[in-house]
Amino acid sequence: MTRPLRIGNASGFYGDRRAAVREMLDGGPLDVLTGDYLAELTMLILGRDRSADPSRGYARTFLAQMEECLGLAAERGVRIVVNAGGLNPAGLAGALRDLAARLGLGTAVASVEGDDLLSRAGELGLGTPLTANAYLGAFGIAECLRAGADVVVTGRVTDASLVVGPAIAHFGWGRDDLDPLAGAVVAGHVLECGAQATGGNLSAFDEHPLEQLLHPGFPLAELSADGSCVITKHPGTGGVVDRDTVTAQLLYEIGGPRYAGPDVVARFDTITLTDDGADRVRISGVRGELPPPTTKVCLNSLGGHRNEVTFVLTGDRIEAKARFARAQFEAALTTRPAELVWSTVGVQRPDADTEASASVLLRCTALDPSADVVGRAFSGAAVEMALASYPGFHLTAPPGNGSPFGVYTAAYVPQDAVPHVAVLPDGSRVDIEPPTVMRALEEVPPGQSAPAHPGGQGSTVPGPTRRAPLGAVARARSGDKGGTANIGFWARTDPAAAWLAAVLTPARVRELLPEAADLPVTVHPLPNLRAVNVVIDGLLGRGVAASARFDPQGKAVGEWLRGRTLDIPEELL
């Protein structure tokens, strides 16, 4: 098949807009509709669900969406590929078959499994986690579609595989079609987070009419046989697709220029973006390399229990009140938790015109293996201070019990140690063999990313400078991978991009972000995108579920850094 394949997305996470499936099916022509339901934290949530009830472990909201839209998808001739199977793709596939029968539909349902390594965790050196799921590639999805599946549900596949699999089935690619596979990976990476590619969470949101961004449409890719694509959205839907929105999503939650997956390594330093009309951006030129011999495994373990109390400090003498509250509260604790983390939100504002703006929040987060240590004894100690503490004492919430928290870690196992099974609509099972030719993954050394933008890596702009926020010349998008944060910065012009690459060294990043002073910082230039990607290991501690940080997933680190000031060439301003 040579005609473009129209692939849309209707979910970026478990809890995304429920109406998006219907919106995408009604909004215009599609060949395939995908949905990404699995974040690292979601696997922990589903693991706890499965522990309580072995028949669970999948995204139940997807089943509710299909109750409403399965018939519509059949009427429109749209095939559906989702990872909503989570820890129990067979269970979700069975529930979908039951639903289709009840609705009088002849929907052919297939599934992909093999990613769940929990029963072999000890054998593979993965310890004793609550969940252990390898990231599978796209060829199992393609096998299901070639066998006539209308709906394919998977467990833990790479997010981009939801797009790559349909492309393999449609265009007939093999494992040696590295450049087309890599192009589809890039398209999948843009689509996977839904409305983040159509104006959601955009640094430049204030450059667009407010009404345009209130209800952004979800993205779709018109994918061609060579792996190039056009990112767009259904006509008449909200939001915007331009080079800003596509670049922002390309930089989201990545590391270096080599973006590794089990089928191919996509070189993000070869991506070319060009305008292709209103709400249309073409992606081309993506080069692919051999996949690595290992695949990533998402491990979630129970880390203990946590609780939190938040004191409100109002008016003047904020620092003195904070010292008083900390000392009094810690003295009242009969057992000190294993970890006690204090942080403040806000700063003292003299002569504030509202009580809220005159207040600062003092947070105390406790983590401990014991539920009792961080339970009512912990939060109750704060309540007992109510009539015996600093002036104006009050809390933001009543006392509560502690709750379990999880710890995410990544591991790697040989690809040939992971079963990859396509369960076809007729129930037959097909083993998907791993790649036969692989190559160890190597980092691209800074300065070797190509092609370079005019002015060259490390160029500077002569002339006078002025103190200004970094955001005056840079847009940003940040995110998380476990305890690691990444911040992608990009510029609108080549001179500004060259200046960014020269100025944002690891030392300068640590200066702008004091939390990273003692942490490993790597800066990856991506001159083809007029961008640099900053990776900070350990900024988010042990990951979102265990983090006591105010922004545990690092979603706003980029906006914080855009507000930091430094000397910027006036020519760029």
For residue 346, the Cα-to-chain-centroid distance in whole angstroms is 27
Among candidate residues 403, 374, 409, 373, the one with its CA nearest the CA of residue 301: 409
**Do 160 and 224 belong together in one domain?**
yes
Residue 110 is assigned to a structural domain of this protein? yes
64 and 212 belong to one structural domain: yes
pTM of the shown model: 0.94
Q: How many structural domains is the chain composed of? A: 3
Here the CATH number for the domain that contains residue 354 is 3.30.70.380
Residues 116, 263: one domain? yes
Judgement on whether residues 128 and 252 belong to the same structural domain of the protein: yes
State whether 166 and 45 are in the same domain: yes
Mean pLDDT per block of 10 residues along the chain (573 residues) reads: 90 96 98 94 87 90 97 98 97 98 97 97 95 97 98 98 98 98 98 98 96 98 98 98 98 96 98 98 98 96 92 96 97 95 93 95 95 93 96 91 89 97 98 97 67 46 91 96 94 95 96 95 96 95 78 92 96 94
H or E element at residue 299: strand 294-314
Q: With both helix axes pointing from N to C terminus, report the angle between 243-250 and 178-191 in degrees, rounded to the nearest 10.
A: 100
User: Among the residues of 201-275, which ranges form H helices?
Assistant: 210-213, 243-250
Q: How far apart are CA 124 and CA 416, in angstroms?
A: 12
Q: How far is CA 383 from the centre of its chain?
A: 37
The per-residue pLDDT for 365 is 95
Regarding whether 32 and 178 lie in a shared domain, the answer is: yes
Is 452 contained in some domain?
Answer: no
Residue 458 placed within a domain: no
Residues 30 and 77 sit within 8 Å (Cβ to Cβ): no
Answer whether residue 453 is part of any domain. Answer: no
442 within domain boundaries: no
Shared-domain flag, residues 220 and 90: yes
**3-state class of 222 per DSSP?**
strand
CB 466, CB 570: distance < 8 Å = yes
What per-residue confidence (pLDDT) applies to 446? 62
Specify whether 279 is located in the same domain as 385.
Answer: no
pLDDT of residue 1: 57
Residues 519 and 392 reside in one and the same domain: no
Is 161 contained in some domain?
yes
* Helix/strand/coil for 373: coil
Domain check: are 550 and 565 in the same one?
yes
Domain that holds residue 527: 465-569
Dihedral angle, C-alpha 138, 141, 147, 148, nearest 10 ° = -130
Residue 169 lies in a domain: yes
What pLDDT shows up at residue 448? 53
Residue 448 lies in a domain: no
One domain for residues 256 and 309:
no
pLDDT on residue 453? 43
124: which residues sit within 8 A by CB, 6+ positions away? 117, 132, 413, 417
What was the pLDDT predicted at 173?
98
Residue 221: is it exposed, middle or buried by C-beta count within 10 angstroms (0-12/13-18/19+)? buried
DSSP state of 305: E
Q: Cis ω on the peptide bond leading into residue 451 (within 30° of 0)?
A: yes
Say whether both 155 and 204 belong to one domain: yes
